[in-house]
Amino acid sequence: MRTKIEIEKLLDDFFHNRIPVGYLEEAIRVLAEKPESVDIDQLMREHWREKSTLKMPNEKEFNVLLDNIHHRINLIEENKIRTLPGKRELKGKYVKMIHKLTRVAAVLFIPLLVSSLLYFTKQINRNKETKSISYSEIYTPMAAKTKFMLPDSTKVWLNSGSTLKYPSSFTGKTREVSLTGEGYFEVSENPELPFVVKTAKIDVTALGTSFNVMAYPEDCKVKTTLVTGQVKVDKISTGTSLYLKPSYQVVLDTNTGKMIVSQVDTRFYTSWKDGKLIFRNEPLEYVVYQLQRWFNCTIYIEDEGLRKFRYTGCIEMETLRELLELINITTPVQSTYNQETREIWLEPK
């Protein structure tokens, strides 16, 4: 049993992101089995007081903050956690601890921790004939980005509101993962085992390659952008296939079914993984579409003429309020911001 000092040190490491993802499960287990004399809630609130410039939230405010910041994060309920060994009582403590840690990590804007905790709550076991295959699912909340490594050493970046499902180990003749949303992949080379990213509309196959796939279910366009190597893109509905060379992109229009290939500057489609949004002469309507996911907010364009206004710029470290001030100064657009609902209205000056 750990002492209070050891528990305090563990919490401090947790909220400073000093615990490797591979050790998070053990860290959570230690916290769940803490001595009765250690008040985890109090320690978390003390951490909040030290690290946050905001006023100390009460229980209701905690929930409102989470609702605004991460678009109603809902952890998987206890009966879906299949991989935890031990008694039901321990599982209950484990789940409660994940809930507590996720709440504070989200409010303090530690997206990797939030995603990692969601990872532990989304272990999926599936029986296939006599073999048991364990699948993991990582979800990146709105206004967050996540980087992690797959079992084959492939590096993955997930953009806001995206989910990746993959097996605990790759077996068979391919390495298959399922993507909803947007992901960037640096595939570990293995000519004997092609790497396949499956989405609702297309499959992207690679050997040793860097590429970006944007496939949000609500979008009418699915984009694959190749940075290095070569990929094969298969249109699921027709079986049509095409190959991409570096610096080329294929866009599938889900309304018409057409696939269009063009040469592009890949920076504009991959910079999100480095914490940047780059726009070059883009319609305001497209810029707004990107910003809503980036900041987890809702933006309304009050004037139809503004939708086609062209915007050029780079967003990196700016907060939402700083960005709105920048837009007010550098464009013919003025904004109104409701901080409680995270709604923004844009109109001509």
pLDDT tens profile 138-161 = 888 888 888 888 989 999 999 988
Q: Whats the size of the chain, residue-wise?
A: 349
Is-contact 141 106, C-beta < 8 A? Answer: yes
Is-contact 244 230, C-beta < 8 A? Answer: yes
CATH 3.50.50.60 for the 276-348 domain, yes or no: no
Nearest to 293 by CA among 71, 112, 119: 71
Query: Does residue 252 carry a pLDDT above 50?
Result: yes
What does the pLDDT read at residue 247?
Answer: 97
What does the pLDDT read at residue 189?
Answer: 86
* DSSP code for 77: P
Query: Does residue 10 carry a pLDDT above 50?
Result: yes
What does the pLDDT read at residue 270?
Answer: 96
Rg (alpha carbons) of the chain, rounded to whole number: 22
Q: Tokens at residue 321, please? A: 């309020």
What does the pLDDT read at residue 191?
Answer: 84
Q: Tokens at residue 295, please? A: 């900041």
What does the pLDDT read at residue 23?
Answer: 58
Cα separation values, 229 from 178, 292, 304, 333, 339, Å: 21, 32, 42, 42, 44
Q: What pairing do the DSSP bridges indicate for beta strands 241-244 and 210-215?
A: unpaired
203-251 confidence digits (pLDDT tens):
999 978 999 999 999 999 999 999 999 999 999 988 889 999 999 999 9
Kindly give, in sequence order, each residue whose CB lies less than 8 Å from that of residue 334, ignoring residues fewer than 6 positions away. Answer: 328, 346, 347, 348, 349
83-113 confidence digits (pLDDT tens):
434 434 444 555 555 555 554 554 444 444 4
Q: Which helix (H) or strand (E) holds 124?
A: strand 124-128
Enter the pTM of the model.
0.65
What does the pLDDT read at residue 93?
Answer: 53
For the segment 122-147, the average pLDDT, to the nearest whole number, is 68
Instruction: Quote the distance between the C-alpha of residue 31 and its chain's center.
Output: 26
CATH number at 145-272: 2.60.120.1440
| Domain-wise residue ranges, the chain | 1-126, 145-272, 276-348
Is-contact 121 95, C-beta < 8 A? Answer: yes
What does the pLDDT read at residue 70?
Answer: 36
Q: Tokens at residue 340, please? A: 């409680």
Dist. CA 118–CA 102, nearest whole Å = 8
- Report the share of the chain in percent with pLDDT over 90: 38
What does the pLDDT read at residue 87?
Answer: 39
- Report the share of the chain in percent with pLDDT over 70: 65
Q: What are the respective helix, strand and coil percentages of the chain, to the nearest 5?
A: 35, 30, 35
The angle subtended at Cα 271 by Cα 232 and Cα 273, nearest 5°, is 80
Top-ranked range on mean pLDDT: pick from 91-100, 128-137, 275-284? 275-284
Dist. CA 207–CA 154, nearest whole Å = 11
53-78 confidence digits (pLDDT tens):
444 445 444 444 343 333 333 333 33
What does the pLDDT read at residue 315?
Answer: 87
Nearest to 184 by CA among 221, 219, 147: 147
Q: What pairing do the DSSP bridges indicate for beta strands 343-348 and 298-301?
A: parallel
Query: Does residue 292 carry a pLDDT above 80?
Result: yes
Query: Does residue 317 carry a pLDDT above 50?
Result: yes
Residue carrying the six token digits 């000056």? 349
